[in-house]
Amino acid sequence: MTHLLSTATPSRPPHPASAPTFAVISGTQVQQALSGREKQIVELVEATYRLHGAGDSVNPPSYFLRFPDRPSARIIALPASVGGSVHVDGLKWISSFPDNVRTGLPRASAVLILNDPDTGYPFACLESSIISATRTAASAALAADWLSRNRPRPTRVGFFGTGLIARYIHTFLAGTDWAFDTIGVHDVSPDSADGFSGYLRKSGTTAEVTVHDSAEDLVRSSDLVVFATVAGEPHVTDPAWFTHNPLVLHISLRDLAPEILLASANFVDDVEHCLKADTSPHLVEQRTGNRDFLNGTLNDVMLGRAAPPPDRPVVFSPFGLGILDLAVGKYVYDEAAGAGDLRLIDDFFHDLRRFG
């Protein structure tokens, strides 16, 4: 990453900047940089949330590109800027094409662009589906830790939705020292449920793995419930399923009916971001006309300004902030640079002289 040289005396023109460099970091390199680093990445995500809470970040609304002829598909732009030791600007460009699953491709694909905050020049493009899944899973593991500190630590986890995100969340829970007696699995696709349960059994877990045909059975038998689906609108509607007061990681944001949130304590990662685009929390706001149902943000919990009650279901609904992608992406870049593995694109920037 190249920075402009300092300006010379006013009687002389400034020294020219060195030619910026541009690196491309592949998914293989991303995986190598992140594999086995679950605790470090959770600490990084926590630090980034704290920076955001202190106002040392910029995280404008996401921008959705939708297609009239492909209503289930979308591509989302998440611009952001992070201060502190991360100190980087950038953009995640992530697509969600659910029909990919039928052909064996993952639903999501993404790239991340990192920009030098001094010059504005982009200095790296990273494969980002792994980064996106990693920051989502790290956020979930962080929330599970903080939101269970004043209540019995869950020993029975249930995964509702069994795709890539569920796999990463399990990896991060296991990598941050969570141990479960039972792991429940439910998916509308029996093949997906079977595949995920097979992965779990090969992962080295000592937990009893059970595939539940009934969504209700999964929820009622779990004290930590992970929703990681592609649902576009609420499909879980009965608050009675949650009367045992589980901790719910509502990662996919649109699974739970307003009645369930109104009967629960609710925490989000960012209020303004989460209460948009007909998420479940947004539907509650539309119904009630207020935000009184929110108990606070995860950062409020970390700062001691809010605490989850032990006698109600606790629901964490994270929108997923672009600042987390930047923090994890910059971590990957620094790891690759430190190892001497950056793949620089020669002459990526051309015609850098103002007057030729």
pTM of the predicted model, to two decimals?
0.91
**pLDDT score of 104:** 84
Percent of the chain at pLDDT exceeding 90: 87
| Farthest CA pair distance, the chain | 78
Higher pLDDT, 103 or 4: 103
The answer as to whether 313 is a domain residue is: yes
Token pair for residue 147?
Answer: 């939101």
**pLDDT score of 11:** 40
- In the chain, the DSSP E strands lie at 23-25, 57-58, 63-67, 70-82, 88-96, 108-115, 122-127, 156-160, 182-186, 208-211, 224-227, 247-250, 265-268, 294-297, 314-317
d(CA 347, CA 279): 44
Q: Which long-range contacts (CB under 8 A, 24 or more apart) does 289-293 make?
A: 293/261, 293/262, 293/266
The answer as to whether 351 is a domain residue is: no
Same domain, 185 and 272: yes
Is there a contact between 117 and 271 (Cβ–Cβ < 8 Å)? no
For the chain, what is the domain count?
2
Q: What is the CATH number of the domain that holds 280?
A: 3.40.50.720
Mean pLDDT of 225-248: 96
d(CA 356, CA 105): 46
The answer as to whether 275 is a domain residue is: yes
Same domain, 289 and 143: yes
Instruction: Look at residue 256 and tell me whether its pLDDT is greater than 70.
Output: yes
The answer as to whether 9 is a domain residue is: no
pLDDT band at 17 (very low <50, low <70, confident <90, very high): low
Same domain, 149 and 62: no
**pLDDT score of 19:** 76
Burial class, 172, CB count within 10 angstroms (exposed 0-12 / middle 13-18 / buried 19+): buried
The answer as to whether 187 is a domain residue is: yes
138-167 pLDDT, tens digit each: 999 999 999 999 899 999 999 999 999 999
Question: What single-letter DSSP state applies at residue 69?
Answer: T
When the pLDDT of each residue in the chain is averaged and rounded to a whole number, the result is 93
Same domain, 159 and 112: no
Same domain, 127 and 184: no
Same domain, 85 and 154: no
Same domain, 124 and 190: no
Dihedral sign (CA 269, 274, 279, 285): positive
38-88 pLDDT, tens digit each: 999 999 999 999 999 999 999 999 999 999 999 999 999 999 999 999 999
Same domain, 263 and 160: yes
The answer as to whether 3 is a domain residue is: no
Instruction: Look at residue 6 and tell me whether its pLDDT is greater than 60.
Output: no
Instruction: Look at residue 3 and tell me whether its pLDDT is greater than 60.
Output: no
User: Count of alpha carbons within 13 Å of 203, Cβ hemisphere only?
Assistant: 22
Same domain, 107 and 232: no
Same domain, 194 and 313: yes
The answer as to whether 309 is a domain residue is: yes
Mean pLDDT of 96-118: 92
The answer as to whether 248 is a domain residue is: yes
pLDDT band at 10 (very low <50, low <70, confident <90, very high): very low
Q: What is the CATH number of the domain that holds 60?
A: 3.30.1780.10
Instruction: Look at residue 335 and tell me whether its pLDDT is greater than 70.
Output: yes
**pLDDT score of 303:** 97
Same domain, 279 and 248: yes
Is there a contact between 43 and 327 (Cβ–Cβ < 8 Å)? no
- Distances in Å between the Cα of 104 and the Cα atoms of 173, 192, 193, 229 are 26, 11, 15, 17
The domain of 123 spans: 23-131+323-338
- Distances in Å between the Cα of 85 and the Cα atoms of 132, 168, 342 are 20, 26, 21
Rounded to the nearest 5 percent, the helix, strand and coil shares of the chain are 35, 25, 40
Same domain, 182 and 61: no
Least confident of 96-100, 131-135, 351-355: 351-355
Mean pLDDT of 267-294: 97
Q: How many helices (H) and strands (E) does the chain have?
A: 11, 15
